[in-house]
Amino acid sequence: MNDAGIERVAVVGTGVIGMSWAALFLAKGLSVRATDPSPGAEARLRAAVAQHWPALERIGLAPGAAPERLHFSADLDDALEGAQFVQENGPEREDFKRELFARIDARLPPVVVIASSSSGLVMSRVQTSCAHPERVVLGHPFNPPHLIPLVEVIGGERTSAQTIERAMAFYRAIGKRPIHGRKELKGHIANRLQAALWREAMHLVAIGAASVADVDDAIAYGPGLRWAACGPFANLHLSGGDGGIAHVLDHLGGPIESWWDDLGTPRMTDDLKRRIAEGMREALASRSSDALAEHRDAVVLGLLALRDDAHGAN
């Protein structure tokens, strides 16, 4: 049992995110009961767990971790049997989620947290269908959840403080890095930050200032390396020398504002979509998307190991 006292997790919805969550929970020594009504869902889930397992072994398995602790059922009620925590990963449709959460809520004791992986919906609207809305919370991961530590925990209007605390404690207990968002916003926190970068990246391609490959290299071999160590505010603080971030804001605040004023506001036109897609094909050259994903995961694993070593040294 982990520090949060949870041994059995239900994974509702086993698309890309749900499969990744299931693999992580198994690697942390938990029993997982998963459900998805799609034909072939069980075979895809078990194949994904097997595919993710070597990376999870490299990170380190918890005592008792085993793919054999996965139970799959196409029946929702069966999958929820004995669940102490629910991670929902259904389609991004509010009407669908409201109905699904009402069914989950009716099936489980009020003490069980129901967390949604939703990347865009707000829990204040989803939880209105539940008799116990206080236990509904957003638990939005960053893809792929079995590798990336971040989880955004955000409550709805009727989510209790105890639910927030319990969700945060559970995610911390399985090695995640949860952050508590204080307001419900479209895209939450990390996706809004990504969206700001994507907007300017696409603007630069749209005006012919850079190629798709150049933009990717500018981040991957530039600020992206620093951001992997610490976030934008901490990096800005380090730029200020002895004066820290206060010095930077005093002396570079004006220039930074001028950059904001000059940023683009591209629209997702058919022409821009075509140019981005063509640029990506050129950047990949003969590499497949699977090869790119393997490269990304290998780099992420290496960075995580370096972070652990650095924290241990401190």
Judge contact between 205 and 268, C-beta under 8 A.
Answer: no
Which domains, ranges and CATH numbers included, belong to the chain?
Answer: 8-180 (3.40.50.720), 190-313 (1.10.1040.10)
DSSP state of 124: H
DSSP state of 61: P
In the chain, the amino acid numbered 286 is S
DSSP state of 68: G
Whole-prediction pTM value? 0.92
At 236-254, the pLDDT tens digits run: 999 999 999 999 999 999 9
What is the full DSSP assignment across 88-108?
A: E---S-HHHHHHHHHHHHHHS
At 296-308, the pLDDT tens digits run: 999 999 998 888 8
Handedness of CA 185, 187, 193, 196 (dihedral sign): negative
Question: What is the C-alpha to C-alpha distance for residues 156 and 164, in angstroms, rounded to an integer?
Answer: 10
Judge contact between 12 and 136, C-beta under 8 A.
Answer: no
Could you tell me the two tokens for 43?
């075979």
Q: How confident is the model at residue 314 (pLDDT cuts 50, 70, 90)?
A: low
User: What pLDDT was estimated at residue 309?
Assistant: 80
Q: Angle between the 289-313 and 41-59 helix axes, to the nearest 10 degrees?
A: 40
